């Protein structure tokens, strides 16, 4: 067996199951889960119609590169959404469909990293645990950048030593962040591109929460926006990851894409040909329908805004919590340690959250997730309101 498997830590939800395993929640209260970030809003009916309309394609092997129409839908969406000039993105070169960003983030790391004793992968802390696992199984070392409130819950990139950038082969970004909801400013993205040029590393921007924001007039910028403003037509060293899971409430479709640097994607396509992860053709047709429509995405944001307004109105004076820049998480500070808060909240109110320390790593004695919990506002409005009322009652006792 691969010795690197011994380096993998239990997933946060495994730790959560152990933490709550012996706890008996009140039987008279229905369970409410704010723990797993699984969208619960209805999936768009027209996507299901496109899916079923092409079930005859179950008899056909899909290609790894995907249908030209899907890649064209992806690049057209990138142009509209991130203000990329029309003509810069070639659907045959600058985009690939993937079976969800989780799969793609993992496999991309295996393809990009050059196994060397000094190889580093830099990521935010807290982080999506796939970044860490993919790094370790690719034979590299993770380097964590704390996301603290004094820096707006973004990494302090200016504090990273030059020798770390020189060893860095891959930089993971997540904007809006999971679990913090923090957005990386456009200026910061441009600075990071300059650092990637200077030190020759690849930027992997996980933007799967990019379509969950609060101001319809100001959609957040992404790495492709920075490339466009810099006149960077080749998108050199820049690759973005997007998914239909959060944007379109389609986590079960397992559909997303990677886009950016054509030379990197050419090699990644070679890797994927061996990896065996082609997207089924009926799923590709459903994905085309989803990427070509924005009305359901705007309606989705309305539902999340309603939940954030209601929950924050209930919790604002009893818990240290603020509206994030984007995403669907609350990153709340707890009055006691995060494990105790999580366990006692479950024991008294039958509400499940995730301890922040489970989503972070301790570096130099500091865990950025300590004394925080992540709450996913994915349940229907009524459940989120009920959960907020229970948390309020718990905090005031």
Q: What is the DSSP letter of 135?
A: H
pLDDT at 397: 87
Report the mean per-residue pLDDT for the chain: 97
* Interval 194-221: pLDDT, tens: 999 999 999 999 999 999 999 999 999 9
* Interval 324-367: pLDDT, tens: 999 999 999 999 999 999 999 999 999 999 999 999 999 999 99
Burial group, residue 157, by CB count within 10 angstroms (0-12, 13-18, 19+): middle
61-293: same fold as 3-42+296-396? no
Task: Work out whether strand 32-33 and strand 351-352 pair parallel, antiparallel, or are unpaired.
Answer: parallel
Q: Enter the pTM of the model.
A: 0.97
CATH of domain 3-42+296-396: 3.90.1150.10
Task: Domain ranges for the chain, please list them.
Answer: 3-42+296-396, 61-293
pLDDT at 125: 98
Contact at 8 Å (CB) between 261 and 235? Answer: yes
For residue 229 the two structure tokens come to 């403003």
Contact at 8 Å (CB) between 198 and 235? Answer: no
Angle between helices 101-112 and 129-137 (to 10 degrees): 30
CATH of domain 61-293: 3.40.640.10
In the chain, the percentage of residues whose pLDDT exceeds 70 is: 100
């Amino acid at each position: 067996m691969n010795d690197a498997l011994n380096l993998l830590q239990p997933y946060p939800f495994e730790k959560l199951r152990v933490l709550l395993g012996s706890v008996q929640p009140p039987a008279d209260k229905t369970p409410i889960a704010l723990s797993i970030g699984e969208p619960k809003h209805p999936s768009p009916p027209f996507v299901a119609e496109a899916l079923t309309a092409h079930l005859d394609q179950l008899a056909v092997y899909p290609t790894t590169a995907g249908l030209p129409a899907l890649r064209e839908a992806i690049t057209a969406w990138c142009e509209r959404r991130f203000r990329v000039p029309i003509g810069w993105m070639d659907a045959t070169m600058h985009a690939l469909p993937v079976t969800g960003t989780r799969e793609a983030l993992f496999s991309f790391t295996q393809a990009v990293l050059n196994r060397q004793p000094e190889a580093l992968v830099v990521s935010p802390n807290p982080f999506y645990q796939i970044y860490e696992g993919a790094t370790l199984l690719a034979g590299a070392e993770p380097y964590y950048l704390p996301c603290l409130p004094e820096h707006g819950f973004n990494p302090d990139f200016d504090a990273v030593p030059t020798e770390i950038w020189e060893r860095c082969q891959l930089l993971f970004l997540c904007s809006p962040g999971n679990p913090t909801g923090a957005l990386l400013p456009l200026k910061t993205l441009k600075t990071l591109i300059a650092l990637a040029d200077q030190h020759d590393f690849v930027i992997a921007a996980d933007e799967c929460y990019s379509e969950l924001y609060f101001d319809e007039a100001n959609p957040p910028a992404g790495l492709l926006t920075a490339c466009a403003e810099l006149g960077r037509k080749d998108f050199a060293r820049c690759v973005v990851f997007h998914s239909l899971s959060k944007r379109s409430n389609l986590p079960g479709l397992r559909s997303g894409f990677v886009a950016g640097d054509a030379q990197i994607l050419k090699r990644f396509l070679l890797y994927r040909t061996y990896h065996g992860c082609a997207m089924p053709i009926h799923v590709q047709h459903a994905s085309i329908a989803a990427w070509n429509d924005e009305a359901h995405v705007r309606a989705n944001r309305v539902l999340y805004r309603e939940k954030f307004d209601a929950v924050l109105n209930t919790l604002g004076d009893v818990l240290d919590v603020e509206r994030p820049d984007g995403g669907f998480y609350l990153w709340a500070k707890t009055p006691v340690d995060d494990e105790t808060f999580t366990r006692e909240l479950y024991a008294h109110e039958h509400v499940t959250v995730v301890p922040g320390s489970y989503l972070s790593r301790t570096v130099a004695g500091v865990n950025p997730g300590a004394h925080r919990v992540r709450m996913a506002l994915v349940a229907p409005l009524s459940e989120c309101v009920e959960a907020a009322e229970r948390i309020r009652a718990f905090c005031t006792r």
